[in-house]
Amino acid sequence: MRVVFTTWAWPSHLYALVPLARACRAAGHEVVFASEPGLTRDVLRADLPAAVLGTDVDTAGMVHEYLLPLPGGPAPRREGKGPRVLRMLTAHAESMTGDLIRLIRDWRADLVVYDQVTLAGPIAAAATGVPAVRQLYGFDLLQRARGVLPDALAPLAERFGAGPVDPFGAATVDPVPASVQVPGDHRLLPMRYLPYNGPETTPWQPPEPPGGRRRPRVCVSWGHTIAKVDPSRFIADGLAAALAETGVDVVLAVSAAQLDLLAARRDAAGEPSGVARDLPGALPDGVRVVVDVPLRNVLRDCDAFVGHGGAGGILTALAHGVPMLLVPQLPDHAGHTGRVAAGGAAAVLSLAELTPAAVRDEVTRLLDDPEPRRAAGELREEMRSQAAPAEVAGALAGLRPSLVSG
């Protein structure tokens, strides 16, 4: 079987698809990962064959319009009518669909697997007559737009002769525990979440406990999105500095680009601005900074996680049974945090509530109260009970009974 995996150029979306793509290849199927030019390097670093589709879209610029307003600040700029996210989804679909159709036909693909926001996937599959399977990278927030998605896709589908398109595909691969997932009525293929947060480039070694006595360890990480969209809202360093005053071991996990951002801030030596204005501006000696270490490795040795509410960070924390404090800055992050908080595994601070004291209080509660850890542990066990990616790869082959594996 030949399988095309596809997403638009955003690393966290690629990361969600990597375990299943690798499982399909391990099962003897041929796999190619298709995306816009900006993701090619990340695909190759994940040890997957890459195909380039269309042109890059200004995703960061569009996401900037969706940032939640700062307390006392102006409302974000908005263009167009209807759900704001549709403009971004259709822009990527416009970029990718024509080339994706050509790839499916030229390579004689048997199946398309697309992440939940890459709507070129179901359009191209419909135009070429192959099954399309949707894979969720997190909570199924597009359920909210189910009523408007088909009409939004109709003009592009008609242009390529695809006819009516179901944006939810023939089946949905779902790594989220059912107890906290947004319910829907589509065919589900539950899959165990195996964290992939980028390639292994730097070995991770847990810090030695001072005096041989281990203290609670808290990881602070801010994903990939926020620093790209608005560097002033990258506040992981301020949160880490605030937590260092509580006597816990703090690990600040950043990318090389984010480390450069922190260095530029130090060089500027100015006052914090934007959302970070009330947070400490310098890192104390007690904060350990790790660069380009996959989050899955860091959280293996942590007791709590502080993050921005991205789906990948949340699911990686749950995979280790780690309770979390989340500070969402985008509407979808607010949606993710609401689901996991309802499950009891997370505390949430809004931008209006964000102060150093509030951060310290919430993390102290997460460490002292057994309930968030119990809830996170139950969700971890629920995730572990789901089918392994290898089993889901077998189910995908079953969508085309006439095909012979390999």
pLDDT digits (tens, 9 = 90+) for 378-401: 999 999 999 999 999 999 988 764
Of 80-89, 146-155, 193-202, the one with minimum mean pLDDT is 80-89
Q: Which residues of 153-170 are buried (b: 16+ CB within 10 A; e: fewer)?
A: beebbeebebeebebbbb
Angle formed by the axes of helices 256-268 and 236-244, nearest 10°: 80
* CA end-to-end span of the chain: 5
Report the candidate in 338, 343, 330, 337 with the shortest Cα–Cα distance to residue 377: 343
- Residue 204 clears pLDDT 90, i.e. is over it: no
Average confidence score pLDDT of the chain: 90
Please list the residues that pair with 31 across neighbouring strands.
3
> Range(s) for CATH 3.40.50.2000 in the chain?
2-192+386-397, 210-384
Of 38-52, 295-309, 392-406, the one with minimum mean pLDDT is 392-406
pLDDT at 345: 98
**Class of residue 94 by CB neighbours under 10 A (exposed 0-12, middle 13-18, buried 19+):** middle
Does the domain at 2-192+386-397 match CATH 3.40.50.150? Answer given as no
Question: Which of the four CATH numbers 3.40.50.720, 3.20.20.70, 3.40.50.2000, 1.20.210.10 does domain 210-384 have?
Answer: 3.40.50.2000
pLDDT at 217: 94
The mean pLDDT value for 110-126 works out to 97
For 63-79, how does the pLDDT look when each residue is reduced to its tens digit (9 = 90+)? Answer: 988 888 888 766 555 55
- Residue 213 clears pLDDT 90, i.e. is over it: no
Residues 6+ apart with CB under 8 A from 222: 234, 235, 236, 254, 258, 307, 308
Confidence of residue 402 (pLDDT cuts 50, 70, 90): very low
For 318-377, how does the pLDDT look when each residue is reduced to its tens digit (9 = 90+)? Answer: 999 999 999 999 999 999 999 999 999 999 999 999 999 999 999 999 999 999 999 999
pLDDT at 76: 54
Confidence of residue 94 (pLDDT cuts 50, 70, 90): very high
Q: Which residues of 142-151 are buried (b: 16+ CB within 10 A; e: fewer)?
A: bbeeeeebee
pLDDT at 209: 64
Report the candidate in 326, 356, 353 with the shortest Cα–Cα distance to residue 342: 326
The mean pLDDT value for 233-252 works out to 92
pLDDT at 211: 64
Of 234-243, 281-290, 342-351, the one with minimum mean pLDDT is 281-290
